Chain A
Amino acid sequence: MSEEFKVEIVNPEKSFLTKDDATEVVVPAFEGEMGILKDHISIISFLKPGVVKVYSKSDENKYFVEDGIVEFKDNSLSILTSSIYNVSDLDRNKIEQILKDAEKESTEENIDDQKKYLINQKIETLRSLQSN
C-alpha cells in the first residue's frame, strides 16, 4: 500500500501547490508542530507563522507561512493561507524586510496577547531561517 496522499496549498490569488505524492507534511499548527501522515484522522486546525515542510519520496520542500487554516480529510490535505513563500526563494534581504515589519508590529501598543504570541512566533521563525 502506498504511503502517499494529496496536498494542496492555495492562497487567495491562486493555487500555490498541488502534489499527489506527499508522504509526510509537517505544519506549524496553533498548538504546536503537527506531522501528518497518510490516514490521519480528519482534522481542522489553524496555523501560526512557521515553516510547512512537505516530504515526498523524491524531494522535500519548505514553505514559510504567516497564517492559515489546514484541513485534512479523506487523505487530502488542504492548506489555505494568505501569505506563503518558498523558503528557497527567500533571500536574506527578503527575510530582513519581513522581520523588520514584524518587529515594528510587535512594538505597537494595544495588541492582544494572542496577536503578540503570533508575532513573536513569526520573529522567531524568521530568525531561525536567517541563521541557516
Chain B
Amino acid sequence: MASLDDLKKRISSVKSTQKITKAMKMVAAAKLRRAQENAEKGRPYSEKMNNIILNLSNGISDKENAPKLLAGTGEEKTHLCVVMTSDRGLCGGFNTNIIKKAKQYFQKILKENKILKIITVGSKGYDQLKRQYKNNIVEKISFKDSKNINYFDADKVGKIIIDRFEKKEFDVCAIFYNQFKNVITQIPQEQQIIPLKSNEEKDVNSESSYEFEPEEDEILSNLLPKNISTQIFKAMLENSASEQGSRMSAMDNATRNAGEMVEKLTIQYNRSRQAAITKELIEIISGAESL
C-alpha cells in the first residue's frame, strides 16, 4: 500500500491536472462561441454560391462540352482525398473520427485497384496517416501560423487542388471534415467536390431562365474554381467549430474524471491516516498495559 506521503503527492498532482483541463475547457468554450458565429456567418456565401452554380449547371445545354470541373474527366481512376484535421491535439475523438471515415474510403478505393492520393490539411491528420499511407500522401498543408481561419488560406488550398487537376493528376476529389451539429455531436463528412455532385436535387425552377453576361460557360469556368475554395473554406469553418466543441466536451469529461479521482484518493488517504493513528494508539496502550 502506498504511503501517506505518496498519496498526498498524487492528490496534488491530480488536482493540478484538473486545473489545467478546466482552464482548457474555458478557453475552448470561449473560442467555440466565436468559431460557431463565424461558421454561421459564412454559410450564406457558400449557400448562395451553391445555388448559383446549381442554376447554371441546370441551364447548361451542352453537357458534353461542360467544364471538366463540373462534368469530370470521364474517368474515375485516380482519387484525391483532402483530409482536413486540426493542428492541435487534446480534442477527444475529433481527429480520429475524420481519419476513420477517410480510411474507410481509402480502403474502398484501393480494393477497386484505383490510385489514391492524399492531401492532409492540419498536422494531426498527417501524423495519424503517415504510418499507413505514407506513399499516398502527396502534400501536407498546415495553417499553424495563421491565428484565425481566413478565406485566403482556403483559397490557397483550392488553388493547389485546381493546379493538380489541370495537370491531370487526378479524376475525382473528395474532402473530409467534421460538420458541426452541436457541442457534443460532430458528424464526419465526406464531400465530393470534383466533379461537382449536387447533394440534394432541389427542384430548381426551369422557368427561371437567366440572362448571362458574359456567356454561360465563361461564367461557369470562372465560378467553379471559386466554388472549390468556397467549399474548402466552409469545411474549415465547420471544422474549427467542431474542434472547439469536441475539445470542450473532452476537457469537461477530463475535469470530471479528475474530480472523481481526487475524491477516491482523499478517502484512501484519510483511511490510511486513521489506520496509522489507531495502530500507534494500540501500541501505546499495549505498551502501558505490559508495565
Binding site for B on A (CB under 8 A): 8, 10-15, 29-31, 34, 41-46, 69, 71, 73-74, 78, 80, 82
Contact = CB atoms under 8 A, between A and B. Distances in A.
B45 A11 contact: yes
B106 interface: no
Contacts of B38: 13-14
B41 interface: yes
B223 interface: yes
B44 A15 contact: yes
B42 A13 contact: yes
B151 A42 contact: no
A31 B208 CA distance: 23
B287 interface: no
A42 B210 contact: yes
B74 interface: no
A45 B150 CA distance: 25
Contacts of A11: 45, 151
A13 B52 contact: no
Overall SS of chain A's interface: strand
Contacts of A42: 208-211
A80 B45 contact: yes
A12 B212 contact: no
Contacts of B213: 29-31, 34, 43-46
A12 B48 contact: no
B210 A31 contact: no
Interface centre among B150, B151, B213 (most CB of A within 10 A): B213
Nearest to A82: B151
A109 B44 CA distance: 36
B177 interface: no
A15 B223 CA distance: 19
Interface string B227-258: 00010010000000000000000000000000
B48 A71 contact: yes
